[in-house]
C-alpha cells in the first residue's frame, strides 16, 4: 500500500462521547449556594445517622480536551436532607433549623485510575424555589488540612450542580416515605432558574438513574467534564489490532525529528496524541477520518519545545460506537 505523509497542520480537537455515559462536554458553572464549604470529610458514606431513600452515586470525571478519565481528582459533594436542610449552617438562607453542629450529607472522594469515585447517600428532599439537586466541586491538586471556610479553594476546577429526571423526582416525592409526607416539589428543572441558566447544556447536568431496586434503594450515575486532558487507561487494545497497527517511531530514541508510522486496515476516525508518562497530553497531532492505508507523521520536538525524556505516542481509533487504543513509548534525547 502507498504510504501517505499525514499533514498534521490542520488537526481538529477531539469531540467524542464519553465511555461512561453523557457527552464529552465542559459542564457549566453553577453556584455553590450559601451552604458551600471547602472539602473536609474524606468519606464515601455521607449519611451518618440520617434516613431516607438510600442512594448509590457513581461519578466519573473526564478531561474534555481528549475525553479521557481524570485520576486523583477530588470530587466534593453536598446536598440537603429529606426536608430541605443543610448541615453546618444555622437557620439562614432558608435552612429550616439550626444545623451548625451537624456534618451529614457532605464529603469528598478521590477518583481512581478510571476517573471514577462512589458515594453512599440518601435522595435529597426539596425546599422552595429549587429543583432537587446535589452540589459538587471538582479539585485538582487539593491539599487537605487547610482552613475550612466558605471561600472557594484555589484548587477548585469546576463548581456546579447535578439534577434528576423530573418524572423520577415526582415519583419519589409522592410515593416513598418520608418524602410523600410533603408531596411533590412545585419546582422542577423546567422552572428552576439556576438550572435554566445552563441553557442547552442543561441535559448534561441530569443524572442517570437506575430504579430497579426501588423503593429499597436507588443508583445514580453522573459524568463530569472539566477543562483538562485526561489520562489514557489502556495502552494496547488487542481487539483493535485487527483494525490498525501503531508502529514504534523511528528513529527512537531521537534528538529532533522522528517518524510515527501506523497502518489502518479499515477506514475510521483516528486521534494521534503525545502524552507525558504522568498522563498529561502535551500535543494532539491529528484527529480526522482516514481511509485504509499506511500513514506516516513527521514529529519535530522543537515545534513544541519538548524537553528530553520519555513520552507515550497514543493512537485511538473511533469506529462506530467503539474506541480502540495502542500506545508506544518514545524517547527524546
pLDDT in tens, 68-117: 888 889 999 999 999 999 999 999 888 999 999 999 999 999 998 888 99
DSSP code of residue 195: H
Cα dist. 15→67, 92, 221 in Å?
7, 43, 21
Q: Looking at per-residue confidence, does 67 or 49 come out higher?
A: 49
Rg (CA), the chain: 23
Cell of 303: 515545534
Residue 156 β-bridge partners: 139
pLDDT in tens, 213-233: 999 999 999 999 998 877 765
Cell of 264: 489502518
Q: Could you give the residue range(s) of every CATH 2.60.40.2550 domain in the chain?
A: 3-12+232-332
For domain 3-12+232-332, is the CATH number 1.10.3720.10?
Answer: no
pLDDT in tens, 111-138: 988 889 999 999 999 999 999 999 999 9
**Secondary structure (3-state) at 168:** helix
Compute, in degrees rounded to 10, the torsion defined by CA atoms 64, 68, 73, 78.
60
Phi, psi angles (nearest 5°) of residue 187: -110, 130
How many Cα atoms within 13 Å fall on the side-chain side of residue 177? 0
What class is the 54-226 domain? mainly beta
Q: Among 2-6, 10-14, 237-241, which is the least confidently predicted range? A: 10-14
pLDDT at residue number 13: 33
Number of C-beta neighbours around residue 10 at 10 A = 8
Is residue 163 within 8 A of residue 206, CB to CB? The reply is: yes
Q: Could you give the residue range(s) of every CATH 2.60.130.10 domain in the chain?
A: 54-226
Amino acid at each position: 500500500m502507498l504510504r501517505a505523509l499525514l499533514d498534521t497542520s490542520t488537526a481538529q480537537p477531539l469531540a467524542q462521547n464519553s465511555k461512561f455515559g453523557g457527552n464529552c462536554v465542559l459542564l457549566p458553572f453553577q453556584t455553590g449556594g450559601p451552604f458551600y464549604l471547602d472539602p473536609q470529610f474524606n468519606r464515601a458514606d455521607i449519611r451518618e445517622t440520617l434516613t431516607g431513600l438510600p442512594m448509590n452515586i457513581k461519578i466519573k470525571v473526564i478531561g474534555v480536551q481528549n475525553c479521557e478519565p481524570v485520576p486523583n481528582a477530588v470530587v466534593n459533594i453536598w446536598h440537603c436532607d429529606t426536608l430541605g436542610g443543610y448541615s453546618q449552617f444555622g437557620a439562614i438562607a432558608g435552612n429550616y433549623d439550626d444545623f451548625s453542629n451537624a456534618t451529614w450529607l457532605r464529603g469528598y472522594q478521590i477518583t481512581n485510575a478510571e476517573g471514577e469515585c462512589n458515594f453512599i447517600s440518601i435522595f435529597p428532599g426539596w425546599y422552595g424555589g429549587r429543583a432537587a439537586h446535589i452540589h459538587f466541586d471538582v479539585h485538582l491538586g487539593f491539599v487537605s488540612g487547610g482552613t475550612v471556610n466558605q471561600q472557594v479553594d484555589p484548587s477548585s476546577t469546576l463548581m456546579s450542580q447535578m439534577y434528576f429526571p423530573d418524572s423520577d423526582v415526582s415519583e419519589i416525592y409522592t410515593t416513598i416515605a418520608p418524602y410523600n409526607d410533603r408531596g411533590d416539589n412545585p419546582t422542577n428543572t423546567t422552572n428552576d432558574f439556576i438550572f435554566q441558566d445552563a441553557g442547552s447544556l442543561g441535559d448534561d447536568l441530569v443524572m442517570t438513574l437506575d430504579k430497579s431496586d426501588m423503593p429499597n434503594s436507588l443508583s445514580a450515575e453522573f459524568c463530569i467534564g472539566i477543562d483538562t486532558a485526561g489520562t489514557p487507561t489502556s495502552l494496547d487494545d488487542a481487539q483493535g489490532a485487527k483494525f490498525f497497527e501503531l508502529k514504534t517511531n523511528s528513529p527512537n530514541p531521537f534528538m529532533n525529528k522522528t517518524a510515527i508510522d501506523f497502518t489502518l486496515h479499515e477506514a475510521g476516525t483516528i486521534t494521534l496524541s503525545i502524552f507525558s508518562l504522568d498522563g498529561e497530553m502535551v500535543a494532539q497531532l491529528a484527529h480526522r477520518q482516514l481511509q485504509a492505508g499506511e500513514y506516516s507523521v513527521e514529529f519535530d520536538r522543537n515545534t513544541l519545545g519538548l524537553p528530553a525524556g520519555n513520552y507515550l505516542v497514543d493512537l485511538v481509533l473511533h469506529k462506530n460506537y467503539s474506541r480502540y487504543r495502542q500506545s508506544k513509548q518514545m524517547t527524546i534525547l
